[in-house]
């Protein structure tokens, strides 16, 4: 009897300890913390791969036409894909994970880690200002939702049980992401940099050259005629 009581007490303590860890993990994460977690080492990469963010707004009909059923359910209806079923939970490519809706660069593969949860997990976004957070009180719990700042797509949630250096775990849905290998991302960034650095002619510029100068004295009628 005494052995059974001791075992039961140990089990209760273990459950309580586990509950404490999970409660800490679910503690809301502030937007300032997310911005601070943006990898300082990849700041240059973020600037190189990300164009200037612009708001992308589309109707539900337009999103349905662009996305698959699962992508629409996750990103526009705040759904969640089943664990261990997504295309990126066990993906180890070197490159950039972009928003499936608007192609905004969101996460660098260098910040990806094995969380054992069945969803792709990152300890930081690729740079500041690419994601935003909101308090999610669905399913009888309080979590911190992560959304794309450009198109407002639901990406997943962020928790406080991640690895160093941030201690955060951005638990994302594979259906909310698309992957671009690093070589392609760098080539695209280089091409964009060339276009942005090449000044475009102003409207109306060169019209005088095209029309040419007006007729000179020798081309006009001779005096007295």
CA–CA gap between residue 221 and residue 85 (Å, rounded): 85
Q: Which two tokens stand for residue 213?
A: 């100068």
Annotation says 151 is catalytic: no
- Give SS3 for 145: strand
Indicate the pairing of strand 131-136 with strand 169-172.
unpaired
From the list 102, 148, 151, 171, the catalytic residue is: 171
What DSSP letter does each residue of 149-196 carry, written as one string?
TTT--EEEEEES---TTT--EEEE-GGGEEEEEHHHHHHHHHHHHHHH
Residue pair 161/26 in contact by the 8 Å Cβ criterion = no
Please give the positions annotated as active site. Answer: 171
């Amino acid at each position: 009897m005494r052995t059974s009581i001791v075992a039961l007490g140990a089990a209760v303590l273990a459950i309580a300890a586990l509950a404490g860890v999970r409660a800490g993990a679910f503690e809301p994460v502030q937007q300032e913390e997310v911005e601070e977690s943006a990898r300082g080492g990849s700041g240059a990469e973020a600037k190189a791969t990300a164009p200037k963010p612009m708001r992308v707004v589309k109707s539900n009909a337009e999103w349905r036409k662009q996305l698959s059923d699962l992508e629409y359910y996750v990103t526009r209806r705040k759904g969640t894909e089943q664990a261990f079923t997504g295309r990126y939970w066990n993906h180890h490519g070197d490159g950039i994970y972009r928003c499936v809706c608007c192609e905004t660069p969101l996460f660098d593969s260098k910040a990806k880690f094995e969380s054992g949860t069945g969803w792709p997990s990152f300890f930081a976004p690729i740079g500041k200002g690419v994601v935003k957070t909101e308090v999610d009180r669905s399913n009888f719990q309080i979590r911190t939702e992560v959304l794309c700042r450009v198109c407002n797509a639901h990406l997943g949630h962020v928790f406080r049980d991640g690895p160093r250096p941030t201690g955060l775990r951005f638990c994302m849905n594979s259906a909310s992401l698309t992957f671009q290998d690093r070589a392609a991302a760098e080539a695209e960034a280089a091409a964009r940099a060339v276009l942005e650095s090449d000044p475009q002619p102003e409207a109306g510029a060169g019209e005088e050259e095209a029309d040419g100068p007006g007729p000179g004295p020798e081309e006009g009628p001779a005096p007295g005629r």
